[in-house]
Structure formats: structure tokens, C-alpha cells
Amino acid sequence: MDMKKIRVGMLGLGTVGGGTAALLQQNRTTLEEKIDAQIVLEKVLVRDPSRPRSVDLPADCLTTDPAEILDDPGIDIIIELIGGIEPARRYIFRALRNGKYVVTANKDLMAAHGTELLAVAREYNRNIFYEGSVGGGIPLIRPLQYSLAVDRIHRIVGIVNGTTNYILTRMSQDGMSLQEALVEAQEKGFAEADPGSDLEGLDAAYKLVIMAVLAFGKQITPDRVHVEGISAIKQQDIEYARELGCAVKLLAIGEQYPAGLALRVHPTLVPLDHPLASVLKEYNAVFIEGQAVGEVMFYGRGAGSLPTACSVLADIVEAARCLLYGITDGVIESKIGSTAFVPVEELRARFYLRFLAEDRSGVFASLANVFGDEKVSLDMVIQKRRVGSLAEIVLVTHDVREGSFHRALAKVLNIPAVRSDHSMIRLLG
């Protein structure tokens, strides 16, 4: 008896798309054994069919017309890998209305419109699979949908951007500047030509939104996330962090408080004995803290074409199983409710602050007055370097309310003897 064929169409053949097509070719026999069906890559949407590619596909497999894929009744699954919001959103809507399952690794789209897209999928008795949108090759979506669905999640803390983690690792281990480490990350394929979304924390914020919707069961949009990137991190900060027994990491943090949710992405000083401090280079890791399960950690490669392609391929297999066994809508999403959000100013943290000031009498008295007025208690003061005629000062606070610290910081930077260039990093609490 001939083996049943599952026909897929792919939108986009970039880094992840090329990796996905390559894995489909390399793992064809394994896939057939797992699902007792052939997965056939029928058509791929590209901008330029004549462009040289890392994966060898027949010329008639490539098209510049999305209708050849989206409106073909013979194609069962659409793989969306073009990225961005539009036209990806329109294409997914069209695919769902045409009765197709959808697989995507589009974090921007799922963060901004995921709830809306999943509602449309349910309307047409189909589903969207998006494991590749968050942790590269780390399984995070399914554990949140299934294994942890019955637990009450209190907190998510993770390194979810491989580009920035690679950069911070090279700065720490090899003394590179941020720019030098970025260039190397781009050469290795861990960073895009335009790395702005990674460096400024936006990529991590989108991923946090996707995880938080599943973990907390609330309607969340990217504008609810407080975001700070790593662009201001200097080699001095890496060295001071080491002296303090910490590593600098870009963390995505979601927490449930009695008053609501708090979501933020920012550089953080992580104690060296914390498991996240040992997550290096392009690797990602996510801690999930639940009422019943306690702490669970997921770890793996978070950057590069093949890790994400592996997650995409797993979603293709899941969608194929739904087709083969007549499961019309796949995963049943939890009910999504509304919530209040806790402003970052209301949160509490310890802070590291580095700045330059004139090395003369009265400066420390002025600093002490400012911090005292705002009830910011200092745990540590370090002054051992000079930059020309200026002293480099590092302060570490005790646990303090964010709003109080930032009011104090604004006053400090207005002291005539203090220069405006500074670095501020929270400590992991």
C-alpha cells in the first residue's frame, strides 16, 4: 500500500527556511518511520528563484506567487518563515481560511497577534504551531501548553536571545568590546545584519510575551514589557560584575504579583552560583517557577538555523499527526483573561551604578544627600580607577523601590561634578 503523503508549502527560504528544508531532506526516512507518512515539500515562496542557496531544491519547487501555495487545495500545511508582521499575518489568515494547518517561527507576529490568530484557527477547526518562535531548539511552548498547564506559574526568568548571550560571553571570557563580539556573532550566523532588535532587547521581549500568555493565561501585548538592551554595557561593567561575583546577562522576567503581572527585559547581574550564569554563548535557558512543580529549567541552543529548524520540523510532524488522525484543532488553548500590570516603578531591586565624577571634596557628601533624600540605602561603594582627571565610581544599593532609585539617579546626574555617561544594571533578586 502506498504511504500517505502530507504536502507542505513554505513561505520563505532564509536562514531558518533553508535549515528546515535541509532537515526535511536529511531526515526523510526518520520522519516516515515516525508518522508512517511522507512529508513532501511541494512549494517554497522566495523573492528571487535564481539566487544561490544552501539547500538544493528543484526549480519548479520555487515560486514568487504566494497564491500558488496558500490557495492550492493539495497543500495541507503552511510553514511561515518570512518573519515580520505583514504580509505574514495576511498569509496565515488566508491559509487558515483555506483549511490548512500553520507552522510558524515568527515571534514578532505571535507576540503581537497570537491570540487573534489562534482564535481564527479555532474558528476554522485548525491550529497554529509555534514552538520555533521562542527558544530556538528548546522545547518551551509544548511544556507550557501541556505539562505545566495545570500548575500555577509564579515566575519566568530566562536568557532567550542567543545573540546577546554570545556577545556578553565573549566580552566576559575574552575581553572583547561589544562591537567586536557583535561582528564575530554576525560572522558565525548568530546575529542578523541589522542586530537592533537583539541588542535593544525587543527580540527577548517578544519571546517573553509568547511565554507569559501561556504561563499566566492572560492577554499580553509587547507594549506591556519594560525593555532595556545591552548597548550601554561596557567592558568595565563586565569586570566589575566579576569582582562582585556575578555575570552580566540579558534576562527576560515575568512575575505574578497580587496586584498583577510585571514583565521586563533588561541586563542583570546574575550571581555566579546561579545556573543562568553558566549559560554561555548562543545557548538559552529558561527557569519556570510553579506552585506545585517548583523550579524547572529548560536549556539548549537558542541561535542558529538548525536549532530553530528542528523546532519547526517538530511542529510539522505534530501538524501531520493531526491530519493523519483526524484531530481538527490540535492543541486546545487555555482561556485567556485580562489582568492588571504592575508598573516597573513599583518593583523592588538592588542596583549597580557606574559613573564618572570629579575627584574633589564634597562630591561624596552630595551623593550621600541625594540617596538619603530618596531613601536609597547603599550596600557598597567602589572607587579605584581614574579616567583622566575623573574618578570612576561604582555603587551597589540595597533592595530599593525602582521609582526611588530612578529619582535618585536623575538627581545624581544633575550634580555638576558628575558626568552624564553612566551604566545602571539590576541585580537578580
Q: Are 57 and 22 in contact, with CB atoms under 8 Å apart?
A: no
Which residue, chain included where needed, has cell 511565554?
Answer: 211
Task: For residue 280, give Cα distances in angstroms to 43, 152, 305.
Answer: 38, 30, 18
From 207, 218, 249, 281, active-site residue: 207
Tell me if residue 207 is catalytic.
yes
Residue-wise burial string across 350-371, b where 16 or more C-beta atoms lie within 10 A, e elsewhere = bbbbbbbbeeeeebeebbeebb
C-alpha dihedral sign at 316, 320, 323, 326: negative
| Grid cell in block for residue 423 | 551604566
**Element (DSSP H or E) covering residue 296:** strand 294-301
The grid coordinates of residue 95 equal 491559509
C-alpha cell at 343: 508598573
The CA–CA distances, whole Å, from 1 to 29, 74, 170 equal 17, 20, 55
Is there a contact between 23 and 307 (Cβ–Cβ < 8 Å)?
no
Task: Enter the C-alpha cell of residue 386.
Answer: 581614574
d(CA 17, CA 105): 10
Looking only at the bridges linking them, the beta strands covering 4-11 and 37-45 are parallel
- Cα distance from N-terminal residue to C-terminal residue, the chain: 61
Distance CA 303, CA 62 (A): 26
Catalytic residue set: 207
